Amino acid sequence: MRTPEQYRAGLAKMRPNLYIGGEKVGRDDPRILPGVNVMATTFEIAQDPRWKGVATATSSLSGHEINRWAHTPQHPFDLMQKQKMIRLGAQRVGGCIQRCMGHDAITSLSIGTKEIDDKYGTEYHRRFCDWLTWYQDKDYCAACAQTDMKGDRTKRPSEQVEPGQYVHIDEVTDKGIYVSGCKVCITMAAYADEILVLPTRAMMETDADWAVAFAIPGDDPGIKQVVRPVWLHERKEIEAPFCNFGVSDSMIIFDHTFVPKERVFMCREWEFGRRLAMLFADSHRHSYCGCKPAVSDVILGATLLAADANNISKVSHVREKMSAFALNSELAFAAGVAAAMYGEKTACGTFFPNTIFANVGRRLMGENIYHEYNMLTEIAGGLSVTMPFEEDFINPETKPYMDKYIVRNPKLSAEESHRIWRFVENVSASAMTSWYQIAGVHGGGSPIMETIALNIDFDYEARRKVARYLAGIDKELDQSKELTRQPTFGCNLMEPEEFGDA
Ligand SMILES: Cc1cc2nc3c(=O)[nH]c(=O)nc-3n(C[C@H](O)[C@H](O)[C@H](O)COP(=O)(O)OP(=O)(O)OC[C@H]3O[C@@H](n4cnc5c(N)ncnc54)[C@H](O)[C@@H]3O)c2cc1C
């Protein structure tokens, strides 16, 4: 497995194809460094013996020890370890660990390619497994480019005035395919080795050219990435780990870009557009059941520090709000564990989380994201947006006043108080705050998509039957299979001793 230094050295060798603020830049541009630091952390964690079995896994393809981010889950325990890895890693970087999307794309392609092959006798699954074995052995990281620009939301891909609103196939040759179009909001693509391109929606036969999935190097000469980095205001003296991290999202432009055949995993099988899109989204919502509790942990941590600084930690309305944080994050985490326990073994061997539990866990956190920031703001007061700059805490003319008046709780020093309020500012009132709020609502699909996913899979009829029986309309009660189903854990897919201490 690669060390963080090897990952960074790999970036340095990549062809510059990033555009930021009107300039063409390489992967050494300081504006993407905060995001690179997040990605490097995922390599660092895998090297740490304390994280063995959590951040590492045994490849189902090669039998080698690999970074868990490159692993396709094989049983419920794998899914639970993934959730744990995400939460632990995300706490360390103060939020999004950014590698879930690539992992979820791998999961969805492993299942989707097998299903396409089973129907059409194609060879996508073999190609994908070859690519994945190579990817695991290289210990690469991947972004997932699913979201298309989408143009007019009321029109299908084939109905758009500009066909590139959705990435599509221009031409198919013996050697591969040529694609054009634009993907947007693609997190960490600027510092990913590979980009996995997936369809974003259900297709009809007229949309067949838009039904395409493939892998492409992040620095492929055929693509341009127009990148928007987000990072925190740099600190002058009071450095803190939280300030080292940030994120970048890319618009990825394909302009008659060649993709070799061996990297193409779907080519015009339009009936599978929806399936691949949903496999990614549902796997991603399971990942959220590890990530969003970690984001909540960070906001709660900031809230606790703000309460300490204001010396109101024991006040009843503060304690009430603390328990509201605990309720959200642990229910979402528990939904992820339930999704793992009640998941299913798919035909290709990949173990897939239960979609109901994954969706309700994600939805709970999405609905509460602004509420969590609101609780922090209520407890912190207005200083998070009105505090003078750090330089004014350094300038000898103002420093004595700053140091004297920043202290509200006599148990805290001036520096501790200043650090707390700077952290609260960073968490609750920075460019990163807005990123997390909007990611909380839209990441993994807009809220309506969770409603759609739930309405597809949730057994509403079973609840109607319960009510009909209780109301005396029906004489017998035919109870929902979902309530009588055994968790997969009981089906010998996972030996209890595998739980170990990890
Ligand atoms: C911080 C962040 C990081 C992200 N990272 C990634 C990533 O790494 N990879 C990736 O692929 N994507 C990523 N995304 C994209 C994310 O998945 C999308 O933002 C999400 O799916 C919503 O799509 P959209 O932004 O196009 O909004 P839309 O889908 O356009 O939604 C906007 C509104 O329009 C409504 N709407 C849309 N279509 C219709 C219709 N036909 N009829 C009626 N109403 C409609 C929606 O319900 C919603 O209310 C990221 C997003 C964010 C915010």
Q: Which atom of ligand 1 is nearest to the CA of 189?
A: 8
CA of 315 to the centre of ligand 1 (A): 40
* pTM across the whole model: 0.94
Least confident range from 65-69, 159-163, 235-239, 317-321: namely 235-239
Q: Measure CA of the first residue to CA of the last residue in the chain; give whole Å.
A: 20
Alpha helices of 342-413 — where are they, by DSSP H?
355-380, 383-386, 391-394, 399-406
166 lines ligand 1 (CB under 6 A): no
Each residue's pLDDT tens digit, 210-235: 999 999 999 999 999 999 999 987 78
Say whether pLDDT at 499 is over 50: no
What number is the average pLDDT over the span 460-482? 89
Q: What angle do CA 339, 331, 40 make, to 5 degrees?
A: 75
Q: Which atom of ligand 1 is nearest to the CA of 183?
A: 11
Residues 6+ apart with CB under 8 A from 371: 324
Q: Which two tokens stand for residue 188?
A: 């960490």
Say whether pLDDT at 480 is over 80: no
What number is the average pLDDT over the span 382-400? 96
Eight-class DSSP state of 206: G
pLDDT at position 445 is 85
Query: Rounded mean pLDDT of the chain?
Result: 94
Contact at 8 Å (CB) between 122 and 213? no
CA of 450 to the centre of ligand 1 (A): 12
CA of 147 to the centre of ligand 1 (A): 7
Q: Which residues of 304-319 are buried (b: 16+ CB within 10 A; e: fewer)?
A: bbbbbbbebbeeeebe
250 lines ligand 1 (CB under 6 A): no
Band (486; pLDDT cuts 50, 70, 90): low
Say whether pLDDT at 500 is over 70: no
pLDDT at position 457 is 85
Say whether pLDDT at 130 is over 50: yes
Residue with tokens 């000898």: 396
Each residue's pLDDT tens digit, 277-318: 999 999 999 999 999 999 999 999 999 999 999 999 999 999
Q: Which two tokens stand for residue 409?
A: 């709780």
pLDDT at position 204 is 97
Say whether pLDDT at 449 is over 90: no
Least confident range from 259-273, 341-355, 403-417, 439-453: namely 439-453
What number is the average pLDDT over the span 65-85? 97
Nearest CA to ligand 1 atom 48: 446
Nearest CA to ligand 1 atom 7: 186
445 lines ligand 1 (CB under 6 A): yes
**pLDDT greater at residue 494 or residue 181:** 181
pLDDT at position 481 is 72
What number is the average pLDDT over the span 430-440? 95
pLDDT at position 28 is 97
pLDDT at position 393 is 96
Band (489; pLDDT cuts 50, 70, 90): low
Residues 6+ apart with CB under 8 A from 347: 111, 114, 115, 118
Pocket test for ligand 1, best of 153, 291, 437 (most atoms within 8 A of CB): 153
pLDDT at position 18 is 98
Nearest CA to ligand 1 atom 32: 446
Band (134; pLDDT cuts 50, 70, 90): very high
Residue type present at position 439: A
CA of 209 to the centre of ligand 1 (A): 21
Residues 6+ apart with CB under 8 A from 276: 108, 109, 112, 198, 199, 213, 266
408 lines ligand 1 (CB under 6 A): no
Nearest CA to ligand 1 atom 27: 446
What number is the average pLDDT over the span 343-366? 95
Band (105; pLDDT cuts 50, 70, 90): very high
Q: Which atom of ligand 1 is nearest to the CA of 449?
A: 47
Pocket test for ligand 1, best of 100, 185, 228, 436 (most atoms within 8 A of CB): 185
What number is the average pLDDT over the span 398-404? 98
Residue with tokens 């707390």: 420
Least confident range from 184-193, 247-256, 316-325, 488-497: namely 488-497
249 lines ligand 1 (CB under 6 A): yes
Say whether pLDDT at 490 is over 80: no
**pLDDT greater at residue 150 or residue 451:** 150
104 lines ligand 1 (CB under 6 A): no
CA of 445 to the centre of ligand 1 (A): 5
Say whether pLDDT at 375 is over 50: yes
CA of 340 to the centre of ligand 1 (A): 26
428 lines ligand 1 (CB under 6 A): no
CA of 439 to the centre of ligand 1 (A): 10
Residue type present at position 209: D
Q: Which two tokens stand for residue 499?
A: 């739980």
Band (487; pLDDT cuts 50, 70, 90): low
Nearest-10 crossing angle of helices 33-47, 76-93: 130
pLDDT at position 488 is 64
pLDDT at position 446 is 87
CA of 446 to the centre of ligand 1 (A): 5
Nearest CA to ligand 1 atom 19: 442
Q: Which atom of ligand 1 is nearest to the CA of 143?
A: 8
Band (495; pLDDT cuts 50, 70, 90): very low
Instruction: Compute, in degrees rounded to 10, the torsion defined by CA atoms 422, 35, 291, 417.
Output: -10
What number is the average pLDDT over the span 132-141? 98
Q: How far is CA 278 from the centre of its chain?
A: 15
Q: Which atom of ligand 1 is nearest to the CA of 435?
A: 1
* Domains along the sequence of the chain with CATH: 277-456 (1.20.140.10), 459-499 (no CATH)
